[in-house]
Structure 1
Amino acid sequence: MPRHTPARPVDVESLFPELLPFRRESVRLHPRPGSPTFRDSSVGGPLMWPADEPWPVCTAEHYDPDTTSRLEPAAPMAPIVQVRRVDVPGLSFPEGADLLQVLWCPYAHGTYCYPLPLVYWRDSRAIREAGPTPAPAAAGLPDGWYPAPCVVHPERVTEYPRNDLSRDLEEALEDRFEALLAETGLRYSSHLADAPGIKLGGYPGWRQEPCWPDCETCGGRMEHLLTVTEGEFDNESWRTWLPEEDRAAEETETRWLWESEAFNPTLLDTCGVNVYVFECRTCPHRPIGHWSDR
């Protein structure tokens, strides 16, 4: 069943025309429990991985994410997202590619103890035979840091900056933001700005100050490719971002919201950590960057 985010209850660009230059499009993936095959777009599902290509293994120094003190051995990368080009019109794919695959090592890496992602752009027509996707549980990876297999229901939505608002623009709009809240109960940051949940493109779902990485090759600022997070909404954002198909008569009850399958369909338990993957679209080999916050 497709998922549809309700129409914005107010006209954001009429109320705040200063935001128009910062408008971006993102693709909400809306993962829901299912049994995707390696041919499908999915979150946490099997990948269309070439049988003659070794599955990637992380050999970097890494630690258990719950203790950040116990050194862990090399581990196979866990499948996070696979997206077919045909399912996400509007997303920028490299020439000749029709398949995006994102994996990560869920152990703690570096000073900030974040997962280490890998990104592959592929031409699915060149894959003659697909090999098996290792089961993360069988590989001994930490529980909660890899998603349960989910089918996806991609939906293109419009976003506006939240934490990426410049200080000058935020101050210029502050009185109108407050007036809107008083009149309608709509909070710009929660209800009108950037979409929550697992998504492609648009603005990262920053919980702290933005930290856009620069490309080590060309020095330019990278673009947001993917946000991976636990929940599709929180106790405020559900009002405008919970899909119409997931709403019920008791939708205003907090208890129902947290028990809803739509809240955390992937069963991720990352201790509130968001993972962001970035890419440089200027350099031909599309180098990636990443960041995490909570």
Structure 2
Amino acid sequence: MPSSTTVPMVPVVQVFHADVPSGVVPFPLGRDVLQVLWCPFNHDSPASPWPVVLWRDSTSVQAVLPTPAADPEADEWHVPAPCVIHPERVTEYPSWDLPEDLTERWQEDFHRLEEAAPLLSYATHLAEAPGTKLGGYPSWFTAPGDTDCKQCGRPMDHLLTVASYEGDGASWRAWLPAEDRDEEGRRAVPLDPTGLDMGGGGAVYVFACRSCPNRPFTHWYDST
């Protein structure tokens, strides 16, 4: 933990509504900027960086202040390298979050798929997209976390995954964008462009409740 009681929050993701494909993440009325920051030190329950979600109106922003330097004692693996986001919409399906009755019903189909294509698996190549993403399904490493809203009791919606890596030795073959491959289709970019590492290739998942007017949020940390 830091020796100081005041720690600058670290910017993690900033997204403008105009840059988000339609229907991926509904923004609150009158807000067109999503900002996620976090404290770069581990916090208990779960032991991970502690995120804060801000929905802002860009027209109300006056002078933009310089971004404060990260705390010198902060874990360097929790301070992302500056990079530009190029949103791309993809279609994905749940694996961990697939209803139990459908999992049982489709189990034989999954087995036939993997027998027909030994290098292909439903969970790795056809279900959730790996890496940092908005919306969609969280690609849990171990098991789904507790994401019920403390105000209304309803399950919260997945808002954002901040991942250590944009894929692994298997998943990149299906999910890596074409522009990040060489002429022979091989990976031409690092799988950790942000320099983040939440431990064991883990991720921080951020959830928001769309049922409550004040849009409460929570997060869950999951790692191998």
Same fold (TM over 0.5): yes
- 1:169 matches 2:98: no
Q: Specify the SS of the correspondent of 2:219.
A: strand
Amino acid of the structure 2 residue aligned with 1:176: D
**Bigger shift: residues 138-147 or 159-168:** 138-147
RMSD (CA atoms): 1.8
Given that 2:181 and 2:189 are in contact with CA atoms closer than 8 Å, whether structure 1 keeps it comes out as no
Alpha carbons 2:147, 2:219 under 8 Å: kept: yes
- Report the counterpart of residue 274 of structure 1 in structure 2: 203
CA contact (8 A) 2:48 2:221 kept: yes
Amino acid at match of 2:197: D
Unpaired runs of at least 5, structure 2: none
Q: What amino acid is the match of 1:170?
A: T
Aligned-residue offset at 1:184: 2.3
Q: State which drifts further: 127-136 or 91-100.
A: 127-136
- 1:105-116 alignment, distance < 5 Å: 105-116=39-50
The residue that corresponds to 1:31 in the other structure is none
State TM-score, norm by structure 1: 0.70
Range moving further from structure 2, 165-174 or 141-150:
165-174
How much identity, in percent, do the aligned residues show?
50
* 3-state secondary structure, aligned to 1:275: strand
1:213 aligns with 2:142: no
Alignment of 1:1-294 (within 5 A): 63=1, 73-90=5-22, 91-136=25-70, 139-185=72-118, 186-249=120-183, 251=185, 257=187, 260-271=188-199, 272-294=201-223
**1:157 Cα deviation after fit:** 1.2
Give the Cα–Cα distance (whole angstroms) in 2 for the partners of residues 106 and 153 of structure 1: 24
The TM-score with structure 2 as length reference comes to 0.91
More strand, by proportion: 1
Instruction: Count residues in correspondence.
Output: 219
**Letter in structure 1 aligned against 2:117:** T
C-alpha separation between the residues in 1 aligned to 2:74 and 2:5? 10
- Match of 1:151, SS state, is coil
Conservation of the 8 A alpha-carbon contact between 1:78 and 1:103? yes
Measure, in 2, the Cα distance between the counterparts of 1:249 and 1:200: 29
- Local SS of the residue matching 2:11: strand
CA distance in 2, matches of 1:114, 1:123: 29
Over 3 Å counting, the alpha-carbon distance change for 1:251 and 1:293 in structure 2 is same
d(CA) in 1 for partners of 2:72 and 2:8?
A: 7
How far did residue 73 of structure 1 move?
Answer: 4.1
Q: Partner of 1:93: helix, strand, or coil?
A: coil
In structure 2, C-alpha distance between the alignment counterparts of 1:292 and 1:166, rounded to whole Å: 22
Q: Which runs of 5+ in 1 are unaligned?
A: 1-62, 65-70
- Partner of 1:29 in structure 2? none
Tell me the CA shift for residue 99 of structure 1: 0.3
In 1, Cα distance between equivalents of 2:146 and 2:207: 8
Distance 1:181 1:72, change over 3 A: farther
Contact 2:8/2:69 (<8 A) preserved: no
* Superposition misfits of 4+ residues, deviation over 3 angstroms: 71-74, 249-252
Instruction: Measure, in 2, the Cα distance between the counterparts of 1:231 and 1:219.
Output: 32
- Secondary structure at the counterpart of residue 76 of structure 1: coil
